[in-house]
């Protein structure tokens, strides 16, 4: 999500002909096969070109500037050089980012795979192994342009967006203000307890949907949300269930992870705080994209009184979760 407010419709002139013209303009001959893939933030297409399929990603105008997108591409190149399994943008005429009629896009090879079976301890361990390698590369330097996952960018700014755009129903404003104030306090307390943990380059959105599994193991896709932050940000979204289940799952992940990089146990203090930040960020992300027709169609309940009541309840549950002792690491 950009750290600004609501945008005008950004893809109104991104027609199928425009997509195909853009790809042909950089040297590929399209055969007319074009299929939109599931993506809200950007527009992503599978395109038939030169007797194969390519993936074309058109970046949302106004979200990242060119320098931030190229920084993501460079991080991906660093990972490929270290043989970390990610899907990099294709380099064409020395460039990975291409302009066309006011849009910017990148091309990727199409690589298949299936969702990882996160219930399988061996799968979790293998994902942890590759995340350890990813983070070892990520820790070599910091992003110069891309912001961090922190209380400012994922907490305070999203709340400002919601307030400025008058999304909160009048009768719920007091309850929302009270719970979000306490949430920010709880997040700040968690970061204070954790202390000065290292900020590294992260995948940033490392959930199961961004990991494709093959017989050779996992590969990571979609580094569009890559930012700086604590390593645990790329770990906690792999966990599910009650605290005991998550502790056991994390143990499997770290068994692989720590073959390549030590994990700072102080970061366990941050799991519920990061979950709360993601929730605030996600809420403001939907609000700030509401002028994009895809969002009202996908989230028709957003902004209703019942929706805000449920969001207040969810944050109250997160307050309780942040007050609990940090997750322990178990192994079987």
Look at residue 213 and give its three-state secondary structure. Answer: strand
**Could you write out the DSSP letters of every residue in 64-84?**
S-HHHHHHHHHHHHHHHHTT-
Return averaged pLDDT per consecutive 10 residues of the chain, 332 residues in all. Answer: 53 94 96 93 96 96 96 97 95 97 96 91 96 98 96 97 94 97 98 96 94 89 95 96 94 97 97 98 96 93 96 98 91 62
Q: Residue 80 CB: number of other CB atoms within 10 A?
A: 14
Which is catalytic among the residues 205, 224, 234, 292?
205
Pairing relationship of beta strands 98-100 and 103-109 according to DSSP bridges: antiparallel
- Predicted confidence at residue 4, as pLDDT, reads 45
Q: Of 202, 203, 191, 201, which Cα lies nearest the Cα of 273?
A: 191
Neighbours of 3 (CB within 10 A): 15
Domains 16-109 and 121-323 belong to one CATH topology: no
Asked if 179 contacts 193 with a C-beta cutoff of 8 angstroms, the reply is: no
Q: What is the CATH number of domain 121-323?
A: 1.10.510.10
pLDDT for residue 7: 54
CATH 3.30.200.70 fits 16-109, yes or no: yes
Helix 173-194, helix 271-288: angle, nearest 10: 140
pLDDT at residue number 3: 44
In the block, which residue shows the tokens 């930040």?
277
Cα separations in angstroms, 320 against 242, 248, 316 = 14, 21, 7
Active site residue 242: no
Nearest residue to 6 via CA among 139, 171, 167: 167
| Domain residue limits, the chain | 16-109, 121-323
Q: Is 222 a catalytic residue?
A: yes
Q: Which of 17, 66, 189, 222 is catalytic?
A: 222
Collapsing DSSP to helix, strand or coil, 32 comes out as strand
Q: Are 296 and 199 in contact (CB under 8 A)?
A: no
């Amino acid at each position: 999500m950009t750290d600004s407010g609501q945008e005008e419709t950004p893809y109104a002139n991104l027609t199928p002909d425009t997509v195909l013209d853009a790809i042909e303009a950089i040297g590929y001959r399209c055969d007319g096969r074009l299929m939109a893939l599931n993506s809200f933030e950007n527009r992503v297409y599978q395109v038939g070109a030169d007797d194969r399929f390519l993936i074309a990603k058109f970046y949302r105008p106004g979200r990242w500037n060119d320098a931030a997108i190229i920084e993501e591409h460079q991080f991906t190149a660093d990972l490929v050089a270290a043989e970390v399994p990610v899907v990099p943008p294709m380099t064409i005429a020395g460039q990975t980012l291409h302009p066309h009629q006011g849009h910017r896009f990148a091309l990727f090879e199409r690589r298949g795979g299936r969702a990882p079976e996160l219930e399988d301890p061996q799968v979790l361990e293998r994902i942890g192994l590759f995340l350890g390698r990813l983070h070892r590369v990520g820790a070599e330097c910091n992003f110069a342009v891309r912001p961090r996952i922190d209380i400012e960018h994922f907490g305070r700014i999203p709340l400002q967006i919601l307030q400025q755009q008058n999304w909160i129903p009048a009768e719920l404003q007091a309850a929302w203000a009270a719970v979000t104030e306490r949430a920010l306090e709880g997040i700040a307390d968690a970061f204070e307890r954790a202390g000065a943990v290292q900020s590294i380059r992260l995948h940033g959105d490392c959930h199961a949907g961004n990991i494709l599994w093959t017989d050779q193991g996992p590969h990571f896709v979609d580094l569009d949300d890559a930012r700086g932050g604590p390593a645990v940000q790329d770990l906690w979204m792999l966990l599910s269930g009650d605290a005991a289940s998550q502790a056991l799952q994390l143990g499997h992940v770290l068994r692989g992870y720590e073959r390549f990089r030590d994990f700072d146990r102080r970061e366990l203090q941050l799991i519920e705080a990061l979950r709360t930040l993601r929730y605030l960020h996600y809420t403001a992300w939907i609000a700030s994209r509401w002028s994009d027709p895809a969002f009202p169609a996908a989230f028709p309940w957003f902004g209703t009184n019942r929706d805000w009541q449920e969001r207040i309840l969810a944050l109250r549950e997160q307050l309780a979760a942040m007050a609990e002792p940090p997750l322990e690491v178990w192994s079987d």
